Amino acid sequence: MLKGGYMGKILRVNLTEQTYKEEETAVELAKQYIGGAGFGVKYLFDEVPADTDPLGPANKLIFAPGPFSGTAVPCASRIAAVAKSPLTGAVGMALSGGHFPVELKFAGYDALIIEGKAEKPTYVSIKDGKVSFRSAEHLWGTRTSDCQQLIKDQLRDQNTRIVCIGPAGERLVKVACIINERRALGRKGLGAVMGSKNLKAVAVRGSQEVPVYDKEAFKKARSVMTGAMKESHALYPMFSHIGTPAVLDLTCEMGIFSTKNWAGTGQWAPVDKLGVEANNSRKIGREHCYNCPVGCSQIKLAREGSYAGILTEGPEFESIYSLGGTTGIDNLDAVIAADRLCDELGMDTMSAGVAIGFAMELYEKGILTKSDTGGLELHFGNDKAMQELLLDMAYRRGLGDILADGVKLAAEKIGKGSEKYAMHIKGLELPAYDIRGAKAHGLNYATSYTGADHNRGYAFQEIFGIPVPEAVDRFAYAGKGKLTKWNQDVRCVTCDCATMCAFILDMALPGIATQNTADLMQALTGLPFTPEEVQAVGERVNNLARVFNKLAGFSRADDTFPERIMTEPLKEGNSKGQLISKEDLNTMLDEYYAARGWTTEGVPTPEKLRSLGLEDALKKLEP
C-alpha cells in the first residue's frame, strides 16, 4: 500500500456504458513509472493496441498528475494527457499546468482513464469520488471559455476545475487541443480524441489532502529545491517577470528563431516587434499555477487597431513563433488575438500556426491560388488572412478543412511538390528553434516519441549554454547522441512523470535534478529511490513508448527531418551556413541508438528491455 504522494486510486470511466469504477494504484506501478506521463504511457501500451484507430472508441484517454502535484513541492501542478495521437499515429502526450491537475488529486485520484464513446454529447462531473454523466448537448458548439463558465454555473461551484474542447475538437480537427481554464493540453490532436468520444468536458472538484510519508525529510528535500530556485540567476530576476518571450530575443541573437515557414531564419528576426520590449508593453499582469511562486504566465492586452481590447494568457514564445514568426506577421496585437482565438476554438497554436505558414509559402510560390484559398491572399504577413484561416480550420471550411489535419496530410492532399515545404516530423509540426543551428535540439526532434517536440528532450546546453552534464558546442555533431538520451530521460522523469514544470529544471535544477527527485520521492512516498533509479524511470518510459511506436509502424526512416533542414543552409545571422545533412543526421542517430542500447534500426534490444523490466513489451515486439 502506498504511504504518501499518491491518493491510492485510479478512476476508470466508461462513456459507452455510462459507468465508472475505482482501482487501486499499484505500488509497483508507482515505483516503475512514478506518475504523469509514465502512468499514461504504461496504460496506453497495456490497453490500447498500437494499430487502434485514434478516433475510434477503442482509443483511451488517460489523464495523470504526478505524486508531487497537490503537495508543497513548488511548480508541480502539472498533468499529462496520453492517447494514441490522431495527428501522428504515435504516442500522443501533452502536459498542462494550472489548477486542474491538483484538483484531480484532491478528488482522490492518481489517474483518470476514459474509455469508449458516449452516444450523445456528454460531460463528466467528478466530486470526491462521486461521478455523474451529464448531457452536454446544450454545450456542443460553445467556445472553451463559455463552456467552462456554463458548467460552473450548472454545478453551482465557481471553483470547479475543468478540461474541455472547443469547436475544433468537436469536428475532429487533428490539431485540436484540450483547454484547461486558459491553458492548453496542446499538440498531438488530443482534443479530437475527446471529440471522437462525444466528451465535451471533465469537471473536477475535491477536498482531500495528499498524504506525506515523512514530513521532516520532505521539508528538508523541499528546502534544497527552493534554495536552488532562489540562487538561479534567471528564474526570479528575469523569467518570472518576462516569461517565455525572453527566449525570442535570445534565439534571434543566435540566429535560430524560425521565420517564414523556416525559409527566413536569420534573414528576418523581428525582435523589435515581437520581442521582450514589445510584450512588456502589452503586459497587464501575471498568472500563477497552483503553488507556484514563479508565475511566469504573462497576461497581455492587445492595444492597437482592430485587435485592441483582446486579452490572452500569453502568448508564449512558441505561439509567438507559430502565429508570428513562421507566418511572417510582426503585429504583436494580431498574435495576441490569434492566440486567444486558438484557445477559444480549442486548437493548438503551434500546429495551427505552422499549417498557416506552410499555406502562405505555397501561396507565395503559386502552388496555391485564390481559387484554392477562398479568395484569401495568403502572403506572409497578412494577419487578417490568418484570423480567417484559423476559423476555417476549426470549422473545417474550404482550405481550412485540409489544413485542419496538419501539414503532413495537407501536403499529401495538395500535392504539386508541396511536401518539400511541410515542416513536420512524424506528422507533428516543428517547434520554434531552427535546429540547423542547434544539433542536439534537432536530434531530439527527430527521435522524440511524440514527433517534433522540443519539450521531450530540450537541449538547454545548446540554447542557454548551461554546462550540465557538460559544456557543448551547438554546431558540433559528436556526443549529441549521448546528450540527447540524457536530456530525454532526465526531463521525462523529473518533469513529465513527477510532475514538475520543465522551466524549473532548465533554470534552477539541472545539476541536481535526479537527486532532487529521488529525495522528494523518498520523503513524500516512502518508496526508496536513488538518482540512478530515477533516471531509469525516464529511460523505461522512453523505451516503452518507442516499442509502441514500432508496433504502430514507425521505424528509423521516420527519425528524420524535412528536406529544408538537410539541404538548405541558413543564409544569414549567427548560425549562417548551418544545416544538418542526411549523412550527419545518420551519424548522430547511430550514436544515439548505441547510447540507448538499441539496434542500428532504432529498435530496443531484448537485453535493454529486460534490463528495464519491460518483458511484456518484449513479448509484443518479438512476433
294 inside domain: yes
Q: Are 193 and 287 part of one and the same domain? A: no
Cβ atoms of 84 and 57 closer than 8 Å: no
Looking at residue 602, which CATH number applies to its domain? Answer: 1.10.599.10
Q: pLDDT per residue over 516-561, tens digit each?
A: 999 999 999 999 999 999 999 999 999 999 999 999 999 999 999 9
478 inside domain: yes
What pLDDT, on the 0 to 100 scale, is given for residue 112? 98
Q: Are 456 and 378 part of one and the same domain? A: no
221 inside domain: no
For the four alpha carbons of 48, 49, 52 and 54, in that order, the dihedral sign comes to positive
Q: Are 201 and 249 part of one and the same domain? A: no
Cell numbers representing residue 187 in the block: 499538440
200 inside domain: yes
225 inside domain: no
Cell numbers representing residue 330 in the block: 510582426
User: Residue 556 and residue 558: Cα distance in Å, rounded?
Assistant: 5
What pLDDT, on the 0 to 100 scale, is given for residue 617? 98
Q: Are 404 and 477 part of one and the same domain? A: no
pTM equals 0.97
Out of 190, 205, 220, pick the residue that ends a domain.
205
Q: Are 381 and 360 part of one and the same domain? A: yes
User: What band does 623 get if pLDDT is binned at 50, 70 and 90?
Assistant: confident
Looking at this protein, which amino acid is placed at residue 370? K
For the four alpha carbons of 526, 530, 534 and 537, in that order, the dihedral sign comes to negative
Task: State the total domains in the chain.
Answer: 3
What pLDDT, on the 0 to 100 scale, is given for residue 430? 98
256 inside domain: yes
Cell numbers representing residue 306 in the block: 482592430
Mapping DSSP onto H, E and C, the string for 76-143 reads CCCEEEEEECCCCCCEEEEEECCCHHHHHHHCCCCEEEEECCCCCCEEEEEECCEEEEEECCCCCCCC
What pLDDT, on the 0 to 100 scale, is given for residue 446? 98
User: Residue 524 and residue 362: Cα distance in Å, rounded?
Assistant: 54
Q: Are 355 and 411 part of one and the same domain? A: yes
4 inside domain: no
Residues 6+ apart with CB under 8 A from 201: 123, 124, 136, 139, 147, 148, 151, 162, 163, 164, 165
Residue 1, pLDDT > 90, answer: no
User: Residue 286 and residue 300: Cα distance in Å, rounded?
Assistant: 9
- In DSSP notation, 525-589 reads H-----HHHHHHHHHHHHHHHHHHHHHTT--GGGS---HHHHH----SSTTTT----HHHHHHHH
Residue written as grid cell 545571422: 573
Out of 392, 423, 454, pick the residue that ends a domain.
423
Q: pLDDT per residue over 22-70, tens digit each?
A: 999 999 999 999 999 999 999 999 999 999 999 999 999 999 999 999 9
531: number of CA atoms within 13 Å, CB side?
9
Cβ atoms of 324 and 270 closer than 8 Å: yes
Q: pLDDT per residue over 568-621, tens digit each?
A: 999 999 999 999 999 999 999 999 999 999 999 999 999 999 999 999 999 999
Q: Are 516 and 611 part of one and the same domain? A: yes
Q: pLDDT per residue over 437-451, tens digit each?
A: 999 999 999 999 999
Looking at residue 148, which CATH number applies to its domain? Answer: 3.60.9.10
User: What band does 515 get if pLDDT is binned at 50, 70 and 90?
Assistant: very high
Tell me the average pLDDT of the chain: 97
For the four alpha carbons of 50, 166, 39 and 126, in that order, the dihedral sign comes to negative
Q: Are 307 and 186 part of one and the same domain? A: no
* Domain containing residue 513: 435-561+581-621
Residue written as grid cell 497554436: 349
Residue 463, pLDDT > 90, answer: yes
State the average pLDDT over residues 321-339: 98
Q: Are 40 and 146 part of one and the same domain? A: yes
Q: Are 290 and 415 part of one and the same domain? A: yes
365 inside domain: yes
Q: Are 401 and 475 part of one and the same domain? A: no
Q: pLDDT per residue over 171-223, tens digit each?
A: 999 999 999 998 999 999 999 999 999 999 999 999 999 999 999 999 999 99
The phi and psi torsions of 403 (rounded to 5 degrees) equal: -70, -20
Percent of the chain with pLDDT over 70: 100
Q: Are 122 and 32 part of one and the same domain? A: yes
Residue written as grid cell 513562421: 326
Looking at residue 398, which CATH number applies to its domain? Answer: 1.10.569.10
Out of 159, 180, 205, pick the residue that ends a domain.
205
Q: pLDDT per residue over 267-305, tens digit each?
A: 999 999 999 999 999 999 999 999 999 989 999 999 999
User: Residue 334 and residue 328: Cα distance in Å, rounded?
Assistant: 12
